[in-house]
Structure 1
Amino acid sequence: MEKTQGISRARFLTGAAAVGMAAAVSPAGAARATTGRGLRRRGVVYTVGAGETPGTAFSTARMREDVRVIRDDLHADTLDVTGDGVERLTATAAEAAERGLHVWLQPTLGDVPERDILEHLAECGRFAERLRRQGASVDLSVGCEFWLFVPGIVPGENVLERIENLRKGTVDRELMQRRLDRFTARAARTARSVFRGRLSYAAAQDDRVDWKLFDIVGVDYYSYHPRRADYVRELRTYLRWGKPVAITEFGTCTFVGAPEAGGMGWDIVDYEKDPPEIKGAPVRSERVQAAYLTDLLDVFESMGLYGAMAFEFLTADAPHRPDDPRHDLDMASYGITKAIKDHPDDPASEWHWEPKEAFHALARAYGRCRGR
């Protein structure tokens, strides 16, 4: 699920730093050599949620133009279509396939009964299979970080409560792991029953996952290391299963120090205030965001990973306020574009997006690879 209690997924990229989950790697196999052949897929995450306000609700016309820009201007060859709502997901996947993009379809319905989540996955999987049979290039992900979004794995009525329980350390982690394993296996069986292409799952960095269930190892990656070699050493651990590795999310927010904050960059906003307000005095920097993305992309290329999808194209509900730093929520956004409202104080205001430095930096990098 992309929206919970008015909080978007971009504000809950908690990762290992927030919950301290145990790593699921072993020294054996961790030193497997990198391939050095370059990425096979280079893309961006595109969220198709319902929007937090009427002004940011999903728009088919806006989506179609965004997909065109992603192909023609960003020079991506892959679109990671994520979020909830079968009609939104399938319309966006079809548009991407029609424009010749590789489709990474990842339904992420959450905070509803397991049966509903699996039915939502099955409907999307059937559509993905139809696209595949029609000749489109499609991979299917069964979901994202189930422990966070699927009720019953971690105690809590919603994402906010689960995060709090994990932070308090009151969760029985062995029981949590058994529940996670059970649901992950159910999701894999559901997807296999309707989809004949390659299957994956977007795991948090230190999740323990039975990767025998999947064809592609998927990782939401938000590490920060001062040395390139440390990224390579960490990423090699995901090669131990002998399967292609896809970086299903990578990115950072738009302020000095954001890369060091990793998946907690969103935490510079006080959402208890109305309107939400930036805490402290962070310094906005599009250059920091752009440099982190391209540095990581170079690492992924050097290792010859299967694919990498930058998170994310746009966070529409975190608008940029250049004249009001205290309310410039785009600083806490992982988007490579910035949303700008025509009337900043009107929730229903029309808006447009503009590219950040990260967009241009990725476009140059993707364009060079496409040229080769």
Structure 2
Amino acid sequence: MEKSNGTSRARFLAGAAAVGVSAALLPTGRAARAAEAGVTEGAAGGPRRGLRHRGVVYTVGAGGTPATGFSAERMRADLRVIRDALHADTVDVTGDGVARLTATAAEAAERGLHVWLQPTPADLPQRDILDHLAETGRFAERLRRQGASVDLSVGCEFWLFVPGIVPGATVLERVRNLLEGHVDPVAVQRRLDAFTARAAAVGRSVFHGRLGYAAAQDDEVDWRLFDVVGIDYYSAFRDHAAHRRELRRYLRWGKPLAITEFGTCAYVGAPEAGGMGWDVVDPETGEVRAGLVRSERTQAAYVADLVDVFSSMDLYAAMAFEFVTPDSPHRPDDPRHDLDLGSYALTRTVQDRPGDPASDWHWEPKEAFHALARRYAHERRRTRVRPRSGA
């Protein structure tokens, strides 16, 4: 997601406990037992090996300044890099603006990438959000009928982005109410369930491929509404077994599991901060917290480690968060204004005129970019000979 949404998402993850979220009841049976053992089934009924879709989140949006707004030329160049240098076969096209979303999805499909199309407008009336979903979904269906590999996600963490579920007219107001406990958890869950069901119905009415949703780890979701379970995953454990134990609870639905976000920031201690890793910039002064030690190696190791976990569990998809965050420029000569420290991006944004919001910019790969590229290239070699069913 773009920076504003990413910030809000992280605040929401921290506030999830305040609304008393509990685990949903899960189905039992053969599929559940297989999932508990860490085995998923392929189209022919046998076990699949490796990560099926290797992806990255690519956010479209208006940007925080005119200089960081959506550019079709940049988007096309970025998608080439995602496919050819990052060795991803999937792009999570997310953000708002139907024209931006559909143009990016079409370009990705044209380049042979699998598309996880996920509109995430925020702070609009619920009816407008559903209309935005319907229009995006109709385009996804046209792509699918033309032979593109595409899944539709009806959105991301609705109780954060959709007004009327958690009290508050804006994302930040809802965040504040969550963190301060000014919510009725029973009422919140009831409203969340109702909107999720409406969104799933809208998605089904316009799109006839795989339908999914991106939930925070502790969300209570009726996954019977969807074909793919989608989880934004930011846990930090010292060993793979702990990650696998946590992820297996989502496999008990007997449905494909997509990791719709994973990643961390590039400083020492960021993985342990989880979804709050971004929270190192003072919103009043715009200054980075003193004492942080920049470490791209920390970010790279975390990302690579999680790909190994996801591959070992034969998951449906994993999408690293995120490719680039234009509104968080890197300032190596000014650590207190190095906003990239609060970014989960695999690349660092470099302004031609540092500190000038109107400056043009370019991105450079971080160590995490190269680490992910190596892992994805390895996954591609592992799975190349394995026949795949249509998405």
Shorter-chain TM band: over 0.9
* 8 A Cα contact 2:8 2:175, kept in partner: no
Structure 1 residue 2: Cα displacement:
4.8
- Counterpart code for 1:14: R
Q: How does 1:298-337 map to 2 (within 5 A)?
A: 298-337=308-347
Per-residue Cα deviation, 1:261-295 (whole angstroms, up to 9, x for no partner): 0000111110111xx11012110010000100011
How far apart, CA to CA, are the structure 2 residues paired with 1:122 and 1:65? 28
Matched, 1:191 2:190: no
Structure 1 residue 26: Cα displacement:
5.7
* 8 A Cα contact 1:15 1:222, kept in partner: no
Partner in structure 2 of residue 349 of structure 1: 359
Partner in structure 1 of residue 38 of structure 2: 34
Partner in structure 2 of residue 52 of structure 1: 64
1:203 pairs, out of 200, 211, 215, with 215
* 8 A Cα contact 1:11 1:266, kept in partner: no
* 8 A Cα contact 2:24 2:222, kept in partner: no
- Counterpart code for 1:18: G
How far apart, CA to CA, are the structure 2 residues paired with 1:160 and 1:2? 15
* 8 A Cα contact 1:19 1:163, kept in partner: no
- Counterpart code for 1:67: L
How far apart, CA to CA, are the structure 2 residues paired with 1:26 and 1:223? 22
Corresponding residue SS for 1:201: strand
Is the deviation greater in 155-164 or in 127-136?
A: 155-164
Partner in structure 2 of residue 263 of structure 1: 275
Per-residue Cα deviation, 1:17-52 (whole angstroms, up to 9, x for no partner): 433142315687587111271111010000001100
- Counterpart code for 2:38: T
* 8 A Cα contact 2:8 2:160, kept in partner: no
Corresponding residue SS for 1:140: strand
* 8 A Cα contact 1:45 1:310, kept in partner: yes
Matched, 1:12 2:9: yes
2:88 pairs, out of 57, 76, 88, with 76
Is the deviation greater in 122-131 or in 13-22?
A: 13-22
For normalisation by structure 2, the TM-score amounts to 0.91
* 8 A Cα contact 1:106 1:142, kept in partner: yes
* 8 A Cα contact 2:16 2:218, kept in partner: no
Partner in structure 2 of residue 280 of structure 1: 290
How far apart, CA to CA, are the structure 2 residues paired with 1:13 and 1:38? 29
1:113 pairs, out of 100, 103, 125, with 125
In structure 2, runs of 5+ residues without a counterpart are: 40-47, 383-391
Structure 1 residue 152: Cα displacement:
0.5
* 8 A Cα contact 1:2 1:109, kept in partner: no
- Counterpart code for 1:112: L
Corresponding residue SS for 1:197: coil
Structure 1 residue 99: Cα displacement:
0.2
Corresponding residue SS for 1:340: strand
In structure 1, runs of 5+ residues without a counterpart are: none
Per-residue Cα deviation, 1:184-240 (whole angstroms, up to 9, x for no partner): 000000011110000000001010101010000000001111222111110000011
How far apart, CA to CA, are the structure 2 residues paired with 1:13 and 1:204? 10
How far apart, CA to CA, are the structure 1 residues paired with 2:351 and 2:261? 27
How far apart, CA to CA, are the structure 1 residues paired with 2:134 and 2:365? 35
* 8 A Cα contact 2:90 2:116, kept in partner: yes
Partner in structure 1 of residue 42 of structure 2: none
Is the deviation greater in 65-74 or in 225-234?
A: 225-234
Matched, 1:291 2:301: yes
| Aligned-CA RMSD value | 1.5
Q: How does 1:118-267 map to 2 (within 5 A)?
A: 118-267=130-279
Is the deviation greater in 20-29 or in 44-53?
A: 20-29
Matched, 1:23 2:33: no
Corresponding residue SS for 1:241: coil
- Counterpart code for 1:320: H
How far apart, CA to CA, are the structure 2 residues paired with 1:25 and 1:234? 14
How far apart, CA to CA, are the structure 2 residues paired with 1:242 and 1:350? 47
How far apart, CA to CA, are the structure 2 residues paired with 1:16 and 1:58? 27
- Counterpart code for 1:174: V
Q: 1:312 to 1:260 in 2, by over 3 A?
A: same
Structure 1 residue 259: Cα displacement:
0.1
Is the deviation greater in 122-131 or in 27-36?
A: 27-36
Structure 1 residue 296: Cα displacement:
0.7
Identity over aligned pairs, percent: 70
* 8 A Cα contact 1:81 1:93, kept in partner: yes
* 8 A Cα contact 2:12 2:175, kept in partner: no
1:365 pairs, out of 371, 375, 388, with 375
Corresponding residue SS for 2:299: helix
How far apart, CA to CA, are the structure 2 residues paired with 1:2 and 1:171? 27
How far apart, CA to CA, are the structure 1 residues paired with 2:59 and 2:352? 22
Structure 1 residue 10: Cα displacement:
4.2
How far apart, CA to CA, are the structure 2 residues paired with 1:196 and 1:353? 37
Partner in structure 1 of residue 389 of structure 2: none
* 8 A Cα contact 2:9 2:160, kept in partner: no
User: Which of structure 1's runs of 4+ aligned residues deviate more than 3 A?
Assistant: 14-18, 25-31
